[in-house]
Homo-oligomer: A and B are copies of this chain.
Amino acid sequence: MRIAELSKLSGVPVPTIKYYLREGLLTAGELSSPNQASYNEIHLRRLRLIRALLEVGGLSVAAIRDVLAAVDEPDLSMWKLLGVVSDSLQKHETIADDEEWRRARATVEALLLSRGWIDHDSFWPPAANTLTMVALRLSQLGYESFVSEALTTYLDAAEKVADLDVDYVLRFPDREDVVDGVVVLTVLGEAALSAARLIAHRHVSATKLGIPAPQAD
Interface of chain A residues 68 through 96 with chain B (CB within 8 A) = 77-80, 82-83, 86, 89-90
Contact of A162 among B80, B149, B201 (CB under 8 A): B201
Contact at B196–A79, with CB atoms within 8 Å?
A: no
Cα of A167 to Cα of B153 in the assembled complex, Å: 13
Contact at A157–B205, with CB atoms within 8 Å?
A: no
Contact at A199–B125, with CB atoms within 8 Å?
A: yes
Interface of chain A residues 48 through 79 with chain B (CB within 8 A) = 52, 56, 77-79
Task: Report whether over half of chain A's contact residues are helix, strand or loop; otherwise say mixed.
Answer: helix
Interface flag for A134 (CB, 8 Å): yes
Interface flag for A33 (CB, 8 Å): no
> Which of under 10, 10 to 19, 20 to 34, or 35 or more describes the interface residues of A?
35 or more
Contact at A131–B200, with CB atoms within 8 Å?
A: no
Contact at A116–B214, with CB atoms within 8 Å?
A: yes
Contact of A161 among B83, B157, B188 (CB under 8 A): B157
Interface flag for A209 (CB, 8 Å): yes
- Residues of B contacting A166 with CB < 8 Å? 201, 204-205, 208
Name the CB-closest residue of B to A93.
Answer: B195
Name the CB-closest residue of B to A177.
Answer: B142
Cα of A215 to Cα of B116 in the assembled complex, Å: 10
Interface flag for A158 (CB, 8 Å): yes
Interface pairs A-B: 5 shortest CB-CB: A123-B216, A162-B200, A158-B196, A122-B216, A127-B198
Give chain A's interface residues, CB within 8 Å of chain B: 52, 56, 77-80, 82-83, 86, 89-90, 112, 115-119, 121-123, 125-128, 130-131, 133-135, 137-138, 141, 143, 146, 149-151, 153-168, 170, 181, 184-186, 188-206, 208-209, 211, 213-217
